[in-house]
Every structure is written in C-alpha cells, then in structure tokens.
Homo-oligomer: A and B are copies of this chain.
Amino acid sequence: MAHTMIGLEYLMKISHTSPSKIVLLVIDGLGGLPHPETGKTELESAEKPNLNQIARESVCGLIDPVSPGITPGSAPGHLAIFGYDPIKYNIGRGILEALGVDLELKPQDIAARGNFCTMDNKGIITDRRAGRITTEKNAQLCRLLNTKIALKGVEIRIAPVKEHRFVLILRGEGLSPELTDSDPQQVGLSPKKIQAISPQAQRTAEIANGFVSQARRLLRSAHNDIPSANMVLMRGFSRLPRIPSMAEIYQLKPAAIAIYPMYRGLARLVGMQILPAGDNITQQLKSLHRHYKDYDFFFIHFKSTDSRGEDGNFKAKVQAIEEVDNALPALLNLNPDVLIITADHSTPATLAMHSWHPVPFMLKSRWCFPDKVSKFSEPACLEGGLGRFPATEIMPLALANALKLNKFGA
C-alpha cells in the first residue's frame, strides 16, 4: 500500500530557504548493461576513483525515472529528477528544443523538433541524422528554409539546434499542437504523413505537411549543396505547458550549467537561471565556481555518456565516464552541503538507445547516513540505503539533507 504522494503543493508549504547549497550532477544516460565479454557495465569498467570515493561517503540507491519498464525520454527523465511527476507534466519535444535555443515563444505558438535526414530514391530513410552534419551546415539549411518557405495564414520560423537538429515554430490564429509525428524514429521506413489527432487540428496538419513537402523540394534542389540532408523529420508538436517553478515550490534559487540546448530549455522551463557552460565539464565546473555564491541549487548536465551510449560505443561511453570523474575534484573542492550524482535514464551501449533500467544514484551530505556501498555502479547501488525508488523522491531527499524542509504535521 502506498501513501498519497507528497505533492508539489505540500512541498511548497514545508520548504524554506537556507544557506545550504545543493549540487545535482546529471550524467546523462549513465546507467548501462554488462559488456558481453567482461560482464561489466560501462560504470563498472571505468576508472573512476572520485565517483567511488563519493559513493563511500554517500547514501546510494537506484532510481526509476518514470516507472519500472518505462524508457524515459530526456524531458521526463529530467522533470522527474527535478521533482515533477513526469506523467502529469508531459513536455512536448518541440517546446523543449525551442526553449533550448532561446526562441521567444508566445503561449499559442506551436513548436516541433526537426531532424535533417537522408532519404534514398525510394523515399526510405537511410540516416535519421543526415550523417550528423555540422551545426554550421545546419544553420545554412535553416536559412534556406526560412527564406524560401511560405505557408498561408501562418508565420514560420526554423532555427538550428546542434548538428542535425532544428526547431520549427508555427505562429498564427487557430493552430493546434494535436498532431502526429512524421519521424518514424527508425531507418528503413518512410517519413509518415502528419495527421490531426483532433478535428480542430486539421488545418494545422495541412500546414505542417505543407512545410515538410516544401522543405523536401528545397533540400533536393540546387539551393542545397549538402546532399546527405535531403529531407526533414518532424516530431513533438507542442505548446508551452504551465508548470510551477522550482523557486515557487522549493524556495530555491536554482541555476543550470548545461552545454546542450535542450537541457537548458528544460531548466529554463522550471525556472532555473541559465549560466554559461563553455564546451566541456571542466568549463562547466569553472562556471559553477564563479556563480557558486549566487544560487543555492545547481543542475550540471553532462551529455556525452548518453551520446556514446546511443552510438553503441561501449568504450567511448566508458571514457566519457572517466572524463567526468577526472573533472570532479573541481566540484568536490566546493564541498557542497548536498551533492547528488545520478542520471535521467540508462543508455546501455549494448542496446544503443535509452532504456528502462533503473539508474545509479548517490547523495552525499553531512546527514545522509552513508551505507556500505563502496563504489558507484548499478549492482553496488542496488545494495544502497535508499533501495530502489522513484526519481520524484530525489528533490524531497535533497531538500531534507539541506535542512530546507519543515516537518510534516504536528
């Protein structure tokens, strides 16, 4: 029997400010699976003395970002860590991408995530990422589409994100985000026609399909000199959600240090200040030092563990973990009151995709009651003092350990 969940409304009542600092390091896609030859996961294979030392001083556990068996996207994975029920607060991918590149959105705008991709002559997708074209080439393609595409009764804006990713904004009267994706999320299939999920989205579906067919024509024309990018795949049509800020709920002054746009967008959505992040974890931690006195909650996002996992590159994911570990002394020397290291989901290199497996978690604080876990890995965290628990319990734990929560009830 489970209790009624401690809702955000209640946390709002018992949260209070304090001088304590909370640092949350999300090592994206950290959780893995055993390598078939060694029987060791990426985390178990990495040389990571700092992570292991922190584990010895922490209370550990395994988190379920959404629910056992459910593979989280990046948005629900992060929202859950920030304390938001990821089923209740389902953020559209398009909105996230738009926020991540600082596009100014109006409440009625529709945003969608786009990929430049490669399609063969039979209309079959052969590379969903167009060979991971450079961000510069991407910007060139977006300029082309922005200049040449015209859709009746709607203003459009196409903005580059990183590599092959872009965002489309539709602005106009009577639009609806209730649309299916054109992206089939697999190679070997054709792009799908965008369809209205509700009758009032019919016109928007026509506009969106009009965008795709004009983009296709332009990308196959002489205007485009990047032949791998000859088509677009659209997904995550969405509108700005209403979500209470972390300041409102937790009485925190939160800041994010994230290199990738989408994670900045997500952080901005929950009311975090976006700090400069530079290009790598060392620069991110320098930024942490520079701004440490000005905020009391820091979200630091490390991406390449997930990217290398998605590439199916076990060794490179191990190296990415070692890169984080190497950088950690510059975080530890700040001695934050509460340090949490975890991930938004697992991305086992053997699976080469996000997965449903629970995610290693550790929390270090003066009051954490360390368990016997002596290294940071999936099997070790299973023995941890926190057991296996939903990611939405992380924020109450963080606040409790920072002594930022009043007691509940008389």
Residues of chain B contacted by A80 (CB below 8 angstroms): 3
Secondary structure call for the A interface: loop
Taking CB as reference atom, which chain B residue is nearest A345?
Answer: B407
Chain A contributes a number of interface residues (CB within 8 A of B) equal to 71
Q: Which of B71, B73, B408 is the one whose CB lies under 8 Å from A400?
A: B71
Residue A81, interface by CB 8 Å:
no
Shortest distance between the CB of A399 and any CB in chain B (Å): 7
Question: Which one of A127-135, A315-323, A328-336, A366-374 is at the interface?
Answer: A366-374
Contact A70/B400 with A1-B390, A87-B10, A410-B91 known, Cβ cut-off 8 Å: yes
Beta-carbon contacts under 8 Å, A237-260 to B? none
Tell me which of A71, A76, A90, A407 has the highest count of chain B C-beta atoms within 10 A of its own C-beta: A407
Question: Which one of A201-209, A282-290, A353-361 is at the interface?
Answer: A353-361
Residues of chain B contacted by A406 (CB below 8 angstroms): 71, 185
In the complex the two chains form, what is the Cα distance from A76 to B356 in whole Å? 26
Contact A367/B351 with A356-B400, A407-B73, A409-B90 known, Cβ cut-off 8 Å: yes
| A75 B410 Cβ-Cβ under 8 A | yes
Contact A69/B408 with A87-B3, A371-B382, A379-B371 known, Cβ cut-off 8 Å: no
Residue A312, interface by CB 8 Å:
no
Beta-carbon contacts under 8 Å, A205-226 to B? none
Beta-carbon contacts under 8 Å, A363-410 to B? 367, 369, 371-372, 378-379, 382, 385-390, 392-393, 395-401, 405-410
Beta-carbon contacts under 8 Å, A43-96 to B? 64, 66-76, 80, 85-88, 90-93, 96
In the complex the two chains form, what is the Cα distance from A5 to B64 in whole Å? 12
Contact A67/B6 with A33-B369, A392-B1 known, Cβ cut-off 8 Å: yes
Tell me which of A69, A396, A405 has the highest count of chain B C-beta atoms within 10 A of its own C-beta: A69
Residues of chain B contacted by A34 (CB below 8 angstroms): 369
In the complex the two chains form, what is the Cα distance from A410 to B3 in whole Å? 26
Contact A67/B409 with A369-B378, A382-B371, A388-B387 known, Cβ cut-off 8 Å: no
| B68 A407 Cβ-Cβ under 8 A | no
Residue A268, interface by CB 8 Å:
no
| B73 A408 Cβ-Cβ under 8 A | yes
**Given A91-B409, A356-B397, A382-B385: 10 more A-B contacts, CB < 8 Å:** A1-B3, A1-B64, A2-B3, A4-B5, A6-B66, A72-B408, A76-B410, A356-B405, A379-B385, A382-B387
Contacts A/B (CB < 8 Å), 5 sampled: A3-B85, A33-B367, A91-B410, A353-B407, A356-B396
